[in-house]
């Protein structure tokens, strides 16, 4: 397998053939903001937070979708990129109901962390304050549509890792929402295995464990990488 050498933020890094700029940057310890990409899951390019500048290209590229190439010169942190990311985070905050002080994952939310890292101390848009439902029908999990940013991590974890495909997206535009099975209450789902992979990959408080204090809500989608490695090594067979 061939290896490419490229420059990211002035550092020379290497990437295996087919690896994305995001993966190469993360391997080298370079942080690129993201909300939809998770190592081990397919990348939908939904959040656009990972956009980067590539020398010689006249438009921004999503680092999670763009393959690293030999000699590429990438910049991940410019004032224009920062402004664009701030704008995206503000739009996400205005679109849903993200009141951190009463959120079940306050302190462990990736959207919240990103907003803090980007110095988003206010939102320049009128909040929509949508009146969305909360599905508490499942015995162990809850789904709060008010806090969902439609990154689809949960859908992909359920489909690509668990193989259940209980979750999906229904509707379009402002009516788009996560559904279970054929838009039934989660607790009535016959396909859900109750594995909780969706909850662990959710970057916000949209999916949460019921009856747990905020301190136990810390999520870590790194378990997906471990599952994939274990399956590849046939550790569980
Ligand atoms: Fe690349 Fe979301 S992480 S578009």
Cβ pair 161, 197 in contact under 8 A: yes
Q: Is residue 155 part of a domain?
A: yes
Pocket test for ligand 1, best of 31, 43, 150 (most atoms within 8 A of CB): 43
Q: Do 194 and 227 belong together in one domain? A: yes
Burial label, 66 (beta-carbon count in 10 A; 0-12, 13-18, 19+) = buried
pLDDT of residue 217: 79
Q: Do 72 and 88 belong together in one domain? A: no
Q: Do 187 and 94 belong together in one domain? A: yes
Q: Please provide the size of the chain in residues.
A: 237
Cβ pair 89, 115 in contact under 8 A: yes
- Kindly give the pairing relationship between strand 3-8 and strand 73-75: parallel
Encode pLDDT of 100-112 as tens digits.
Answer: 999 999 999 999 9
Q: How many CB atoms lie within 10 A of CB 90?
A: 17
Write the CATH number for 149.
3.30.70.20
Which pTM value belongs to this model? 0.94
The closest-lying atom of ligand 1 relative to the alpha carbon of residue 44 is 4
The closest-lying atom of ligand 1 relative to the alpha carbon of residue 46 is 4
pLDDT of residue 221: 87
CA dihedral 233, 34, 138, 99 (to 10 degrees): 150
The tally of domains found in the chain comes to 2
Range of the domain at 150: 83-232
Q: Do 95 and 172 belong together in one domain? A: yes
Domain termination residue (choose one: 77, 99, 121): 77
pLDDT of residue 127: 94
C-alpha 85 to ligand 1 mean position (Å): 11
Q: Is residue 237 part of a domain?
A: no
In the chain, which residues have pLDDT < 50? none
Write the CATH number for 60.
3.10.20.740
Q: Do 71 and 90 belong together in one domain? A: no
Cβ pair 33, 52 in contact under 8 A: no
Q: Do 54 and 127 belong together in one domain? A: no
Q: Do 95 and 198 belong together in one domain? A: yes
In the chain, where do the E strands start and end?
A: 3-8, 11-16, 51-54, 61-62, 73-75, 134-135, 141-144, 167-170, 177-180, 207-209
Pocket test for ligand 1, best of 33, 34, 60, 150 (most atoms within 8 A of CB): 34
Encode pLDDT of 169-210 as tens digits.
Answer: 999 998 999 999 999 999 999 999 999 999 999 999 999 999
Q: Is residue 124 part of a domain?
A: yes
pLDDT of residue 133: 96
């Amino acid at each position: 397998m061939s290896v490419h050498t490229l420059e990211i933020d002035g550092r020379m890094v290497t990437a295996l053939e087919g690896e994305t700029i995001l993966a190469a940057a993360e391997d080298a310890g370079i942080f690129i903001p993201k909300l939809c990409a998770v190592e081990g899951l397919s990348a939908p390019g939904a959040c656009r937070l990972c956009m980067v500048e590539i020398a010689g290209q006249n438009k921004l590229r999503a680092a999670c979708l763009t393959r690293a190439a030999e000699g590429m010169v990438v910049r991940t942190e410019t004032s224009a990129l920062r402004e664009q990311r701030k704008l995206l985070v503000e739009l996400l905050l205005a679109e849903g109901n993200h009141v951190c002080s009463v959120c079940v994952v306050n302190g462990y939310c990736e959207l919240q962390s990103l907003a803090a890292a980007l110095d988003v101390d206010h939102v320049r848009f009128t909040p929509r304050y949508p009146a969305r439902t909360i599905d508490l029908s499942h015995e162990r999990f809850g789904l709060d549509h008010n806090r969902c940013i439609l990154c689809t991590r949960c859908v992909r974890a359920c489909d690509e890792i668990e193989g259940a495909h209980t979750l999906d997206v229904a509707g379009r535009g402002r009516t788009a929402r996560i559904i279970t099975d054929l838009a039934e209450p989660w607790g009535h789902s016959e396909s859900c295995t109750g594995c909780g992979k969706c909850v662990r990959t959710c970057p916000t408080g949209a999916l949460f464990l019921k009856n747990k204090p905020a301190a136990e809500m810390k999520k870590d989608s790194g378990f997906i990488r471990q599952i994939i490695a274990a399956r590849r090594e046939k550790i569980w067979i």
